[in-house]
Structure 1
Amino acid sequence: MRKITLNVVLALFVCLLSACESKRETTEETTTTTTTDNEMNDGMADENVGMEMPQDTTSIVTGKPGVPLYNSDAEFVAMAASGGMLEVELGKIAAQKATNAEVKKFGQMMSSDHSKANDELKTLASKKGWVRPASMLPDHQKTYDRLSKLSGKDFDRDYMAEMVLDHETDVAMFEQATQKATDPDLKAWTSKTLPTLRAHLDRARTINSSVSRM
């Protein structure tokens, strides 16, 4: 009886050892798998650092998928202020360097109209606490640097071509702001300024068509 009992105890002990060993191996396998998965996820996260996720948006200028012109009232103010500076400074150059009388007159109009709009935006930005750039944004500065080096008919042609593109962007920006600006005073200012920009665009297209044939 004692011998039978001892054998039973030994059998139970062997079974217990087997169960513990199996559990230990399962735990190690799970830990290894989890660690490997975590390392893979960490690696993927590292690869994604600094990457821009694609945006399913549509450009209001081209009508094609792309990044919107701006994403907030503050960003619009910065872009509008910088664009206004470009219009004024290029207008001054055109008033002095243009060989075509219509281009010269257009430059004078740009300097006058956009100086007024810039002052209005500056007053509104000060009232609202919005930050305006002290100088032109890089893209606008590049355009200024390029055109300021030209002269004669080359300046007339490239300046008017730029004015068409620039005012197409301006009109698109301001149309978007009249609908999507969150600040009511900014929305009112863009609505008031938009007709002038549309008139500038129409005039720019007419003059550009003329000088581009010369």
Structure 2
Amino acid sequence: MKNNNVWMLLWALMVSCTVLSSCSDDDDDAMDQDKTRVAAFLQSAAQSDMFEIMTGTMAQEQGMTDDVQMFGEMLVEDHTMTAGQIMEMADERDVNLPTTLPAAKMTIVNRLDSESGITFDKDFANAQVQSHQEAIALFETADQQITDTEVQAFIDATLPALRMHLQHAQQVKATVDGM
């Protein structure tokens, strides 16, 4: 009977080790998946900031209306701050950030660069509405998928500003569309 108990104990120990091992593998997979999501988010958010800084600078220089120029100034200031935070988080996590915009965003930048006056203002306002809708969607998706607490805190702190920028872009768009 004692021999049977020893075998039962050994069997239970082996099963426990197997279960713990597979749990550990699941935890590793979840951590790897979160790291991948964090890296993708930081890279996309960095490109979003880069676009906002570039077009905001253009708005300050090429914008015809005060609304466009002031909105451009706000974009440069706010997105320069968040770009710095993204760089810090990326450095801490060994994530390489892109140094160029995606082709679609570069097309918008090039188009805006060739415009002036009210044409620029209208195109800039449209681009800002679209880019902030995209940024909000990016941040909301990341907010649901990422478990990294520092990145979560950044998302939670940044989303209200992005929503405010979208409202501002919609107001600027309504103003310049009426011209």
Equivalent residues of 2:37, 2:142 under 8 A apart:
no
Equivalence for 2:110:
145
CA distance in 2, matches of 1:201, 1:119: 21
* Structure with more relative contact order (C-alpha pairs < 8 Å, separation 6 or more): 2
Equivalence for 2:151:
186
Equivalence for 1:79:
44
Equivalence for 1:24:
none
Alignment RMSD (CA, Å): 1.2
Equivalence for 2:54:
89
Tell me the secondary structure at the aligned position of residue 171 of structure 1.
helix
* Per-residue deviation, 1:77: 1.4
The reply on whether 1:156 has 2:121 as its aligned counterpart is yes
Equivalence for 1:135:
100
* Per-residue deviation, 1:80: 0.9
Identity %: 30
Aligned structure 1 segments of 4 or more residues deviating by more than 4 angstroms? none
Equivalent residues of 1:74, 1:130 under 8 A apart:
yes
1:124 aligned residue (80, 84, 89) = 89
Report which of the two has the higher share of helix: 2
* Per-residue deviation, 1:139: 2.0
Equivalence for 2:138:
173
* Per-residue deviation, 1:126: 0.3
Equivalent residues of 2:63, 2:117 under 8 A apart:
yes
Equivalence for 1:8:
none
* Per-residue deviation, 1:182: 3.4
* Per-residue deviation, 1:137: 2.1
CA distance in 1, matches of 2:86, 2:136: 16
* Per-residue deviation, 1:148: 1.2
CA distance in 1, matches of 2:89, 2:104: 24
- Under a length normalisation based on structure 1, what TM-score does the superposition of the two structures give? 0.65
CA distance in 2, matches of 1:208, 1:92: 18
Tell me the secondary structure at the aligned position of residue 79 of structure 1.
helix
The number of aligned residues is 144
Structure 2 runs not aligned, ≥5 long: 1-35
CA distance in 1, matches of 2:144, 2:153: 10
Structure 1 runs not aligned, ≥5 long: 1-70
CA distance in 2, matches of 1:113, 1:88: 9
1:106-148 Cα distance to aligned partner (Å, 9 max, x none): 0000111000000110011001111100222222212211111
CA distance in 2, matches of 1:83, 1:142: 14
CA distance in 2, matches of 1:108, 1:93: 10
